[in-house]
Amino acid sequence: MLQRVRATVGPDFPILVKMNSKDFLEGGLTLKDSLQIGTMLQNRGVDAIELSGGTFVSGKLNPSREGVTSEEKEAYFREEAKVFKDKLKVPLILVGGNRSFQLAERLVKEGYADYISMSRPFIREPDLIKRWASGDLRKAACLSDNQCFGPAMAGDGIYCVVENKQKEKG
């Protein structure tokens, strides 16, 4: 399949794969399994891997966890990422509760990942990177409450419900 994608997009278009590190389910995908898959992807020429984990039926260990209120709760796939970085050479992108510039920078410097990925923080603050680049390194304002999924599931687009309520109050 990867060869067909490469043939379609050409040699200069990057192919990135997002994959689970673990499913956190009994009998599900293990770190050993995912590392084997990552190795196969690397050997077949993928340009980068974005590492996530869990499923929407993995309970508290799902991919979009609530209550990311401290640096210790951020980057909840960091240990799995370290295993990938120690075994693979393909660039690794780490997703999963990243909220702090300082932690993101440290994870890259300490070899947990080559890049950091975020989703929910950009829903709340589309200009977060501009804010950080300007020197305002406060943690992302995202509350990690997953309320942004409600409008999306209802077909109303994706937006931060909390931010929208604050704007309506004026």
Domains of the chain by start residue, with CATH? 2-169 (3.20.20.70)
120/55 Cα distance (integer angstroms): 17
The whole-angstrom distance between residue 79's C-alpha and the CA centroid of its chain comes to 14
Segments of 48-152 assigned E as strands: 48-52, 92-94, 115-116
Lowest mean pLDDT among 23-32, 62-71, 126-135: 62-71
| Residue 66 in this model has a pLDDT that exceeds 90 | no
Half-sphere exposure of 152 (CA within 13 A, CB side): 9
Q: What percent of the chain has pLDDT over 90?
A: 82
Among 145, 76, 131, which Cα is nearest to 101's? 131
| Residue 121 in this model has a pLDDT that exceeds 80 | yes
Indicate the pTM of the whole model.
0.90
Angle at CA of residue 115, ends 126 and 29, nearest 5°: 105
Left, alpha or beta for 62 (phi > 0: left; psi -120 to 50: alpha)? beta
